[in-house]
Structure 1
Amino acid sequence: MDSQLKKILLTDLKLPEAAIEAHANFEEAGMDSLAIVELSLLLSERLGVNATEDELLDAKTIGGIETLVAERRGMSCQHSTPSGGRQA
C-alpha cells in the first residue's frame, strides 16, 4: 500500500492498522460516512488526488481506494509530462 495513503488512514482517520487490508470494506475498516468525506479532502490536500465521496464509496474496499488513488496519481503524472514542446 502507498505509504502516504496508509499514513492518512492510520494517522488522520485513526483506523486500526489491523483493519487496513485490501479486502476490507469500509465498515470492517471502521470508516463511516464522515470518514469518507474527510478522506476525500485529505486525498486532495495531501496527494493532489481529486476523488468525490461517491467515487470513494464506489471503490467499496480499502484496496479499491488504493487502486483509485494509484490510477488518479498516474493520470496526474501523465498529464503533467511535457510533450517535447510540440503542439498537436
Structure 2
Amino acid sequence: MTGDLTSILIHDLKLPADRLTDDASLDHAGFDSLAVVELSVLLADRYGIDISDSDIKDVATLGRLDLLITTKRSGR
C-alpha cells in the first residue's frame, strides 16, 4: 500500500494502523459506511479523482483499493 493511502486511512479516517495490510478487507480494516463516503470526498478534494462510494465498496482488499486509486491518479 502506498504511503499516501496509509496516511489518509490513519490520520484522516482514524483507522487502526495494525489492521492496514494489503490483504485486509475493508471491514477488517475498520471501514464503515461513513468512512467510505469520507474517503471518496478526500480523494476528490486532494487528488481531483472521482471514485464513487460503490467503487470503494466493491474492492476486496486494501491492496486493490490502493491499485484503484493509483490507476485513477495516473489517468489510466
TM-score (norm 2): 0.91
Q: Identify the residue that residue 27 of structure 1 maps to in structure 2.
A: 27
Indicate the structure whose relative CO is greater, using CA pairs within 8 Å and at least 6 residues apart.
2
Q: Identify the residue that residue 67 of structure 1 maps to in structure 2.
A: 67
Name the % identity: 38
Q: Identify the residue that residue 84 of structure 1 maps to in structure 2.
A: none
Q: What do the CA deviations read for 1:43-78 (whole angstroms, capped 9, x no partner)?
A: 111122210000011112111110100100111xx7
TM-score (norm 1): 0.80
SS in 2 for 1:49: coil
Q: Identify the residue that residue 54 of structure 1 maps to in structure 2.
A: 54
Q: Identify the residue that residue 17 of structure 1 maps to in structure 2.
A: 17
Q: Which has the larger radius of gyration?
A: 1
RMSD across aligned positions (CA):
1.2
Gaps of 5+ in 2: none
SS in 1 for 2:18: helix
Aligned residues: 76
CA distance in 1, matches of 2:3, 2:48: 15
Gaps of 5+ in 1: 79-88
